[in-house]
A = this chain, B = another copy of it.
Amino acid sequence: MTESTYHTLDAAGIRSLISGVPVVAGRLGGTPDLWRVHEVSDGNLNNVFIVGGPTGEVCLKQSLPYVRVDPTWKMPLDRTYFESEWLRAVRPLVGGLTTEFLHFDPVLHVLIVESLSGHTVYRSALMRGVDWPDVAPRIGTFIAHATFGTSLLALPFEDVFAARRDFARNVTLTRITLDLVFDHPYRDHPRNNWDEPELTPLVLDIRSSAPTLLAVENLRRRFLSQPQALLHGDLHTGSIMTKADDTRVIDGEFALYGPIGFDCGMFVGNLVLHYFATPDATARSATIRDIAAFWTCFHAQFLTLWNRDEAPPAGTLRPLAYGPAAHTAQLAFLEEIEADTMGFAAAEVIRRIIGYAHTADFDVIADPRQRGACRAGALAFAYYILDHTAQIRTLGDFLRHLGEQEKVGL
């Protein structure tokens, strides 16, 4: 028996909700009294539970009317709605690279999906030092399929406009990205924070560098004004659950129509953070290899989808021209995504080091001085990228420059 107004669910409430949803209850098996409820929330925003029964398990996520880790920060409840819409849109496009959608409750703002077992959060796996070379290319495949399939290249514009309309309502989380990624780090703001005093001169340099600020303005404008495809919107290494042979993108609550390079850049930026947090040359080379493999795979898959013979894309942007010039135009479109990727990656690195929400990557470094040096290395790298957008034109340039930072902080 589901109550008809929103309330935060405890274990009993969860059992009661699920007992009214046959597709989920059936998967768990048995009767509600046999269902184990286990909280696994570790993100910033929502309550997350694993519910297990005699024959199966599901994962249940509920929005709270505030930020989970900061209840004074009030927030509307609609984020699981957008995650659910995102999942329903991309799941058919990406095969097994995300979770199965099971149920959404619009009153309780609860999303129920397949439970993953044996998977760990990719960031944690990286911090443990695993080397799983297939994960990054899988993310390339994921982004290629999810973005191509929701773009004007694959769909009639009427469908794209309808989807854009839906996700354009996701303003609360889009505002968070705008403020935390594209605004606060570039000025004095109480939400910014960093422990290491040696970062401060770098921060002041960044804030007074006109080319850097103009690059950020450009990225911010592109983020809001290039609705190329449905994005995940928060595709960091904490939004990926994986084992060596199976990878899933989760947590699409920031979904919006935007530039494809934003998803690519979030992912690359978080690999760059991992790179600088790894005081080990072999692991650093593996990360460079991962970024390269991610991009190569994304690029190849996107082009393959675009040039499918059997089922030519039914999108409004189907080609008018064919032949070598048309191929060059496709490559130019991908170069635009490449430039975006590098810019958004750099912006992500900066905000994760001096902004509100840091990542755990650097926690693996015990020595505070070394940790500060590694953070400074990452910040200086990102600053260099934004300050030299005219010079660093390909991901190859980007990775060469990253490789030259091998000794930073080691």
Render A213-255 as a binary contact track against B, CB cut-off 8 A, 1 for contact: 1101110110011111000000000000000000000000000
> Which segment, of A71-79, A112-120, A168-176, faces chain B?
A168-176
Q: How far is the CB of A164 from chain B (nearest CB, A)?
A: 6
**Is A320's CB within 8 Å of the partner chain B?**
yes
Interface centre among A171, A187, A216 (most CB of B within 10 A): A171
CB pair B321 A217 closer than 8 Å: yes
Cα distance A171–B319 when bound, in Å? Answer: 21
Verify if A192 is at the interface (C-beta below 8 Å from B).
no
Residue A168 contacts which of B165, B171, B323 (CB distance < 8 angstroms)? B165
User: A410 at the A/B interface (Cβ < 8 Å)?
Assistant: no
Q: A178-B316, A224-B157, A226-B225 are in contact. Are A210 and B152 (CB under 8 A)?
A: no
A161 within 8 A of B: yes
A221 to B151, CA, bound (A): 11
A152/B321 in contact, CB under 8 A: no
* A311 part of interface (Cβ distance < 8 Å): no
Convert A195-219 into 0s and 1s, putting 1 for each residue whose CB lies closer than 8 angstroms to a CB of B: 0000000000000001101101110
Any B CB within 8 A of the CB of A326: yes
**Which residues of A in the span 304-325 have a Cβ within 8 Å of any Cβ on B?**
316-317, 319-321, 323, 325
Chain B residues in 8 Å Cβ range of A329: 214, 217-218
Question: How many of chain A's residues have a CB under 8 angstroms from any CB in B?
Answer: 40
Interface presence of A42 (CB below 8 A): no
A175, A226, A228, A316 pick with most chain B CB within 10 angstroms = A316
Interface SS majority for chain A: helix
Residue A186 interfacial (CB < 8 Å): yes
CB-CB < 8 A to A227: which residues of B?
Answer: 225, 227
Q: State whether A320 and B152 are in contact (beta carbons under 8 Å apart), knowing that A165-B165, A169-B165 are contacts in the complex.
A: no
A363 is an interface residue with CB less than 8 A from chain B: no
A371 to B171 alpha-carbon distance, docked (Å): 54
A211 and B329 alpha carbons, distance in the complex (Å): 10
Q: Which residues of B contact A211 (CB under 8 A)?
A: 325
Judging by beta carbons under 8 Å apart, are B213 and A152 in contact? Answer: no
Docked pose: A187 CA to B320 CA in angstroms: 8
Q: Chain B residues near A321: list those with CB within 8 A.
A: 210, 213-214, 217
Question: What separation, in Å, do the CA atoms of A228 and B319 have in the docked complex?
Answer: 24
Q: Identify the closest chain B residue to A159 (Cβ).
A: B171
CA distance A319 to B187 in the complex (A): 12
Is residue A39 contacting chain B, with contact meaning CB distance below 8 A? no
Q: Whole-angstrom distance between the alpha carbons of A317 and B221 in the complex?
A: 7
- Do B152 and A225 have beta carbons less than 8 Å apart? yes
Assess the B323–A210 pair: CB atoms within 8 A.
Answer: yes
Cα-based distance from A214 to B224 in the complex (angstroms):
25
- Beyond A152-B225, A225-B227, A317-B224, is A161–B171 a contact (Cβ under 8 Å)? yes
Q: Does A158 have its Cβ within 8 Å of any Cβ on chain B?
A: yes
- Closest 10 pairs between A and B when the two form their complex, measured CB to CB: A213-B321, A210-B325, A213-B320, A161-B168, A165-B165, A210-B321, A165-B168, A158-B171, A214-B329, A214-B321
Contact sample, A vs B, 7 pairs, CB 8 Å cutoff: A157-B171, A157-B178, A161-B171, A162-B168, A165-B168, A210-B321, A213-B320
Q: A165-B168, A220-B316 are in contact. List 20 more A-B contacts (CB 8 A).
A: A152-B224, A157-B175, A158-B175, A161-B174, A165-B165, A165-B169, A178-B316, A210-B321, A211-B325, A213-B320, A214-B321, A214-B325, A217-B317, A217-B321, A218-B329, A220-B317, A221-B317, A224-B316, A225-B227, A227-B227
